[in-house]
Structure 1
Amino acid sequence: MYTKILNFIVGRIKRQANFAPGGAAAEEHTIEYVIATPTHWKGTQLLNDFEEALQKTKEIEHAKSKVIVTKAEMVSPFLHELKADVLCQNFNVDHLSFEENTKYAILDIGTTACELTILTSKKDAKDQAGEPIRTPWSKTVENLFLEMLDSMFGATVMNKFKTDKAGVLELLLSFEKIKTSKDIFKLNAKPEPLPMPCALLDQLSNELINTYLKAGNTIREKNSHISEEEKKDYFLCISPEQVQELFEPMLKIIEETIYKHFSNDQNSDIKCVCIIGGYANTKLVHKKARKCFPERTVVIPKEADIVVVQGAVYYGYKYINDKK
């Protein structure tokens, strides 16, 4: 499975790079790959299986080099190299220092878990990462959102709707825009409209028709399909209070993780915390971070979900080449 995924991803990246405006096709033997894996894979069979799959990946078998690193380790090149230039949200990073043996923390608010990793800065070497402290989410915000719709529309409608993968993806992408909106948590914010996918509207319409027929009524022409044009007239309204309620279980785990490992004198020498991951782009997480780390410098990159990719590029460009 890993081999198939790697072949697909690398093949797609290479094609995109070759067709980019002004881009030129790179020869395979000149390309260096930096592969970032989940930090909690370190020392596990999962990582061993991945490394074995990497050796069998045809798309990169003739590459100049292949390096496997952890996600947390790839945040450090981002911080070291970009701290003076990156636009961070609401935080001043000009005075950050990464002298040798300086400790700092990476809090990864990812799609499956809250993961805390403490790193020690090393001069002329890759920063040393400790064992990650990982707490999986009991349910994600998206899971809770779909459960909320279950209670609104009923399990029958939602179970049928969930078989339409494209419709579910469309719904979750619309919800993503709402939960990362800068305006939804402002004072006196109005409910945000969420377009309803045709697949969900069709299932609701079918359920209403079936209920009508079961009551002994007759319908001259049964046509429940809703067109794309008609769909524009239908939407859900999600209030700021509802969105906040969906985030509460996640925020509780984040807070418990932080207080457990940073309370009293624990890790008092850590002055900087960088927050990354898909959920780090939400205002509720920003607010929780400011509350939980009043005495520390908190760095939340503008694009917190792609920091690992940016760090990996810097690592490959500077750190690997510097050793040659």
Structure 2
Amino acid sequence: MATFGTVFMPEMALTTFADSNWSKPEIVTSDSINLHPGAHVLHYASTCFEGLKAFKHEDGSVNIFRMDRNIARMAQSSRLLHLPTIDEPMLEAMIVDMVRRYLDEIPLPPGSMYIRPTHLGTEASIGKAAAPSASSMLYVLLSPVGNYFAGGDKCLRLLLEQDTSRCAAHMGMVKSGGNYASALQPILKARAEVQADQVLFCPNGDVQETGAANFLLIDGDEIITKALDSTFLHGITRDSILTIARDMGMKVSERELSIDELLERASKPGTEAALSGTAAVLAPVGTLIHNGKEHTIGSGDVGSTTLKLREALNAIQWGKAEDTRGWLQRV
């Protein structure tokens, strides 16, 4: 199987916003887009995106997971970036139409069809550093993906970074490419210097998120994770896992978590940690690196609660457990 996110369907749905109106969505080739070299997005990073999945069930039906939440978050990101307001029903129709177009290309679980809606500012103006783009482009790209854990579960190594943030505090809840770009330098440095897989950003000792995923600490029957605010991404997988944990009778604590408390709890037998996101659902964390010292989380191996929560969410996504909350939309 090719590397995650490198194979694309040959067509995508695309619409543009100009003169206060969205164009009728079209099906176009997905190998290129037409942008003026002075496009706002290329100079002032006016762009946001989403990531969601469609799953093929054993009965042959195809279901998109929590599409309403992804569309709502994209609308929020667009507002916060002052991009043109997206037409949410139109975007839903674009997503559904594209998934239907490529039903036969959707892999069976644990594979899926990854869906990437993208919104970017297109106005040709290099004089609008402090003004939004009056025009934009919105498209929906599809990428069939395989099993994220095809090589087996690997416990991740995280470097705790307390001197810098992943991105500007008021931008954390925006799913924008600029946030990922700003995290890249510390991540690459951590990989080179301490062989970390990711950086867990903890500005002033406040445990927030990694460069590309939310962080969850599991201490017995309690999950501890930072309460939602503007500084970090409001993950839909995070919300799904926390909901399932509550249904299982676990205590969910959304609150401040300091580095000191994290390291103290991590040393206890049975403690687990994981990163939540669309691609992996839950990826286990085995080691925290802080001030040149490595701290093993619990046994350092994949935790049973991490596996239980991930399997429970996968069972809903894959149609093997009842969808009692209406998270799946059949197409």
Global fold match (TM > 0.5): no
- The structure with the greater share of residues assigned to strand is 2
TM-score by length of 2: 0.25
Greater relative contact order structure (CA < 8 Å, 6+ sep):
1
TM score, norm. by length of structure 1: 0.25
